[in-house]
A and B are shown apart, each in its own frame.
Chain A
Amino acid sequence: MSTTVQSKLDEALNGPAFEKRIRRRNFWDSVSKYGISTGGIGVIFSVLLIMFFLMYVVFPLFVPATIEKSAEYSLPGGQSEKTLYYGVDEYQSSGMRFTESGKLLGFKVDDGSTNFSETLPLNGEQISAYTVVDELKHIVAFGLTDGSVIFAQYGYDVSYPNDVRTITPKVTYPFGEEPLELADGEITHLAVKVFESEMRLAYQKKDSKSIEIKEFTKTESMLTDSITLQEEYTGSFETTNDTSWLMIDTSGRHLYVISKTGVTDFYDIADIESPTLVQHVNLLSGSEKPTVIRFLLGDYSLMIGTNLGNVYQWFPVRDKQNHFALQKIRKFSVGKSPIESIGIELARKGFAVTDKTGMFHLFHSTAERNLGEHSTGDGAAGFVTMSPRADGALVETANGRLIHIAIDNEHPDVSFSSLWSKVWYEGYEEPTYTWQSSSADSDFEPKFSLMPLTFGTIKAAVYSMLFAVPIAILAAIYTAFFMDKSTRQWVKPSVEMIEALPTVILGFLAGLWLAPYMEAHLPGFFSLLLILPIGIIAFGYIWSRLPERIRLLIPVGKRAVVMMPVVIFLGWFALQLSGPIEDLMFDGNMRHWLTASAGIDFDQRNAMVIGFAMGFALIPTIFSVTEDAIYNVPSYLVNGSLALGASGWQTLVGVVLPTASPGIFSAIMLGFGRGVGETMIVLMASGNTPLMEVNIFEGMRTLSANLAVEMAEAEVASSHYRVLFLAGLVLFIFTFIFNTLAEVVRQRMRRKYGSL
């Protein structure tokens, strides 16, 4: 029989079927080996992808602009006349040159071929003054030698014959082709600002020291769509300054008369009939003289280019008494040679500068960034105009050429300093850290300071740690070291249960229940801090005086159970004290007393609410890691100490805690990391105002809550979008550092326990 078995076995183990089976099994083995390896590596890789993706999105913020010459041709219309203005369409397909003599020359941006030609209806007069009325709408005004003013607007029509975009430039006259009669002599300087329903205008006549100001109301004719101007107010003042530049800012209330040395008279013309001199100031010092002065986008900041190659930004700043005064805000060092021309972007606070050496420079004012430069040739570079989308510029050169420059400049508005330092924004009284990412205005200056958000994040985390750390660590010490096994079995999971509670519920309770309750019982919550420890210790002491018979009923390991009703009572008692304390110390209402008498701002959703609510959410993280660390301290260390006569607590402090301290440290790190990233609680209970106040009674806005609020609305690939990703990256790095620290310390501790 054994032989038959043997032969069958031989057959099974040697036959081709067996070989096949072995091959199949080996095949599947290697398939699963490589499959699992690639799968596993793929998963791990995708996990690491998160960090790289964040960096990938953030990276373009810090890339400098690329500036390239794309075309060069001789100046349309020749070099003999000076250029006053260039209009360029949104697609950079056609441009229009306004010259000194009133010629309007349309040309193709690609090759400079002329495709449009017209002359302003000057009625035989000469242009003697010129000003840009509205940069965005391309409206310009010309003062003429007979004392009249004509307004022209550059525009273009887009059509699609044969599916090819064709752009035809045109000129319109928003206030009619008839010049507006202003004065009886040649106008040498002109400034105009147009508003919704009125227009403000200032001018100076030749050989006159007087500056005239007028306000016109606009009336739109229902039938013809034309606008007629009606003079409403008029005023004038004598200027002591020799006028080189005359400018009215965006409000229509500030008038600047600037001399060729940079001496500026700042007039308040809110009331046109009685203009008042606000400030007499020299914008420059020493031998520095202005070569070009113009407004930045928004007509608020004065940009002053000088003969020494600097550009200064000045704007009026309001002081505490509500008075405005021009102040130097920042300086851009362009080069050594005189500035020839400044061109501004039409959607951002960026500007381009050309100088005598023929260099073209690109800057951004808020971010104080020098974004790059490009040489236009050997001669000086002249008049510069930026295209509406800031993706190109036209530069005239001294040798009569016009150069078209292509620019790729996606995120000039973000820089390290604009993210992390104080920035002096337009209209602000001083440099500030401000987060304000969007607004309805088109000439809005986005304020991307991450400081208030980072500060808010840390504030929220610190206040909640103040609440969580003492409770969690003391509780962990007791649970691990003193508590008996049967109690521990249910206490530990129930504390850890907090971790599982959705934070949206905690946030909801904190925002809608705790915040108003706390506001009404403020002194009660503060008295908790005093009454709880005193009450607990007093109870403990009285307990120790009780007869042994009662004392022994409750062993040390079950004290936590005894304390539960005591704690409830003390908490209730402290909150009951709220009313009497308010009556006694705070005139009956602590919240009112805080704002009125102590001068402390109070928000209902504040850091204290966050401290309680988020602190509660942090307890389990800190508790379980600490508890683990203490519980795993080798028992012979404890027994040795106890045998030498130390009390329980002495053993704990002298032996256990030093051994477990790395674990406690890592618990705190983990807790902090979690506090930094928590979103829903702060979103719902912090008020979300990006403040930078340490005050416990004020709210904050954290990085994470900010992401939750703004991310969905941010336009993809915009600066705002990328800055939000940067905020995400900051959060990521924050938590990564804390967690790694905790992990490394914990691993080292494990090794130490192993050696003990």
Chain B
Amino acid sequence: MKDWFNKGEHWIWMSSSMVSISVVLVMGLIGMIAYKGALHFWPHAVYEYQVQHNGQIETVIGELRDYKTRDITDSQTGKERELTQYLIKIGNRDVYGIDFRWINDSDFTSGMDTLSKNAIVIERYEYGNVYGHLVSANIGGQKIVDSDVLLDEFKKQVEQSSETRDKIRSIEKYDIGAINYAIEQLRFEEKKLRLKDAFTPEEAKRIEAERAKLQARFHEYQDQTAILYKQLNASGDVTVEIAGGKTLTIPIKKVVDFWLPNNMNLMEKLGFFGHTLGNFLLDDPREANTEGGIFPAMIGTITMVLLMTILVTPMGVIAAIYMREYAKDGPLLRMVRISINNLAGVPSIVFGIFGLGFFVYILGGSIDELFYGYALPSPTFGTPGLLWAALTMALLTLPVVIVSTEEGLSRIPRSLREGGLALGATKSETIMKIVLPMATPAIMTGLILAIARAAGEVAPLMLVGVVKLAPELPVDSITPFVHLDRKFMHLGFHIYDVGFQSPNVEASQPLVYATSLLLVVIIVGLNLGAITIRNRLREKYKALD
């Protein structure tokens, strides 16, 4: 045994276990996010429990979400004992006031696994889910009780009402939105003219006429939506018996979707999974971001990252070409290189305050004064927004791109450059036509790593443009299509905001896990892409040597 220790065998075991620990932690973490995130989309079984509450037995219908064990002091014996509590999502927030309930295991008088037969879950636009049993529906003045037709009719009505809702939304968002935008532009035009003292009566007339035209169109659309709203209101209602025998009447226009989880087979469950996943990706958030989808956050992230890529690519590549091909090698260049390397290690929040202080307040403030004086005192670019966020992120990821591009350039054999020059090409031709194309994979690697970093970074964005809830998307169909001055939503910030700032943490946790999963998938995917490109690149240069 002494010999075993002398040879340091125990250290080898220890060090090998540290590798295992790291790998287990990463895998465990990713696995946990994947499991908890995917669980958000899976139809949970709905159970029916008999629970003792204040000496009475009551029925609780809901999903089993979590459990925990804690120690409590028994009030009678004074002894500590373990208590397991179960977290039941009971929904029906408008009736109970809460979505979730912790129930002690000793309070259950029934088994824990009684499925509630034919239980229906109705997702609503307000007040969260309803759990209960469908009793009847009132559609077009007709009361339907027959359970065979009931579900079909209900389904049809829900589909119809969500179609109407989509129409209304599209009118309100795109058509009326465009009119509002135009009216706002008119107001600015008028203000601009006034500033220049060129607001003549003719101009006033013209602007007034245009405004009247827009107003008329606005009313037109309003009439259209009024009809649609009427349709929506006429879509009837359903009556559900919730736990405890109470009935609840829900107008169908408030229903997002409904399902009967206990009656689903595996295929249906899979279908439901895909369906909710799709909704999650394509819907707007509801109820202070704790329900609904993450579409605007995704669009915001993608827009910001793309804009950042457009900004960082020329900056990084030009700086790298300069440093590798044109600058004279010497102590100065070495220092610059160290500074750039160091910049990669500077905390991201420092970039955030730089972005806020320099880009937003100084650059943005001056842009406002020069070009948007008519809109002052409400700032256009002198406030956090998409452009500044993208620029800050570009600066943050610049070192990654520079270092990676430089490395790519340095790997290209000297003989190729000399060959180009020997054949009479100028230096710029050699760089553009021979060196750069060969370095593209390296540049790509750098860019992908930059994108992955930018997509996951939150701290600086909190200062330079990300908001909890943006009323408009940063890209839309109104010229100039990409609105650089708008604030936007971001997946990472969404996680922070919903997880930590939301009033209903338990209700929002599954959504945060789902968002995390999406973010992890995007970023891990990008990183894997970068690794693959890097490996292919190495193979390629091996052939060259």
Contact = CB atoms under 8 A, between A and B. Distances in A.
Q: Considering residues A472, A561, A680, which has the most beta carbons from chain B within 10 angstroms of its beta carbon?
A: A680
A46 B339 CA distance: 12
Contact of B8 (A43, A507, A649): A649
Nearest to B399: A47
B496 A567 contact: no
Q: Considering residues A40, A474, A650, which has the most beta carbons from chain B within 10 angstroms of its beta carbon?
A: A40
Given A44-B319, A673-B345, A679-B349, 12 more contacts: A29-B427, A33-B326, A40-B318, A44-B340, A475-B22, A482-B16, A495-B26, A502-B455, A579-B82, A704-B347, A708-B462, A740-B338
B26 A541 contact: no
Contact of B452 (A49, A500, A676): A500
B12 A559 contact: yes
Given A40-B318, A677-B346, A471 B22 contact: yes
Given A587-B80, A708-B462, A567 B21 contact: yes
A457 B432 CA distance: 46
Contacts of B25: 498, 616
A137 B325 CA distance: 69
Interface of A: 25-26, 28-29, 31-33, 36-37, 39-41, 43-44, 46-50, 53-54, 57, 470-472, 474-475, 477-479, 482-483, 491, 493-495, 497-498, 500-505, 507-509, 511-512, 520, 532-533, 536-537, 539-541, 543-544, 556, 559-561, 563-564, 566-568, 571, 579, 582-583, 587-589, 616, 619, 623, 647-650, 652-653, 670, 673-674, 676-680, 683-684, 704, 707-708, 711-712, 716, 724-725, 728, 731-732, 735-736, 738-740, 743-744
Contacts of A564: 20, 23-24
A728 B349 contact: yes
Nearest to B70: A520
A70 to B, nearest CB: 29
16 contacts: A29-B426, A33-B326, A36-B326, A44-B340, A471-B21, A482-B15, A497-B524, A500-B526, A501-B520, A541-B10, A560-B16, A680-B496, A725-B353, A736-B342, A739-B345, A743-B342
Nearest to B343: A47
B20 A563 contact: yes
A125 B458 CA distance: 70
Contacts of B57: none
B378 to A, nearest CB: 16
B353 A539 contact: no
Interface string B486-517: 00000011011001100001000100100010
Contacts of A649: 7-9, 11-12
A474 to B, nearest CB: 4
A43 B318 contact: yes
Interface residues of B, number: 101
Contacts of A511: 499-500
Contact of B14 (A48, A537, A616, A744): A537
Sorted nearest first, the 10 A-B pairs with minimum C-beta distance are A40-B322, A677-B347, A649-B8, A502-B456, A540-B13, A478-B15, A679-B459, A29-B426, A32-B428, A43-B319
A650 B29 CA distance: 35
B315 A43 contact: yes
A743 B16 CA distance: 28
A512 B7 contact: no
Contacts of A544: 4, 9
A478 B19 contact: yes
Interface of B: 1, 4, 7-27, 29-30, 32-33, 68-71, 80, 82, 314-316, 318-323, 325-327, 336, 338-343, 345-354, 356-358, 361, 395, 398-399, 402, 426-429, 431-432, 452, 455-459, 462-463, 492-493, 495-496, 499-500, 505, 509, 512, 516, 519-520, 523-524, 526-527, 531
A75 to B, nearest CB: 42
Nearest to A589: B71
A567 B500 CA distance: 32
Contacts of A474: 14-15, 18-19
A47 B339 contact: yes
A623 B353 contact: no
Q: Considering residues B32, B68, B353, B354, which has the most beta carbons from chain A within 10 angstroms of its beta carbon?
A: B353
B448 to A, nearest CB: 11
Contacts of B452: 500
Contacts of A716: 361
A116 B72 CA distance: 76
A40 B323 contact: yes
A544 B12 CA distance: 12
Contact of B349 (A50, A536, A707): A707
A35 to B, nearest CB: 8
B26 A33 contact: no
B341 A532 contact: no
A563 B493 CA distance: 37
B24 to A, nearest CB: 6
B410 to A, nearest CB: 14
A144 to B, nearest CB: 50
Contact of B24 (A31, A32, A37, A568): A568
A616 B462 CA distance: 24
A732 B327 contact: no
B495 A508 contact: yes
B456 A512 contact: no
Nearest to B36: A513
Q: Considering residues A568, A708, A744, which has the most beta carbons from chain B within 10 angstroms of its beta carbon?
A: A708
A42 to B, nearest CB: 8
A541 B1 contact: yes
B395 A46 contact: yes
A33 B345 CA distance: 31
Contacts of A48: 339
A84 to B, nearest CB: 42
Contacts of B71: 582, 588-589
A501 B229 CA distance: 45
B428 A29 contact: yes
Contacts of A711: 352-353, 356, 463
B16 A563 contact: yes
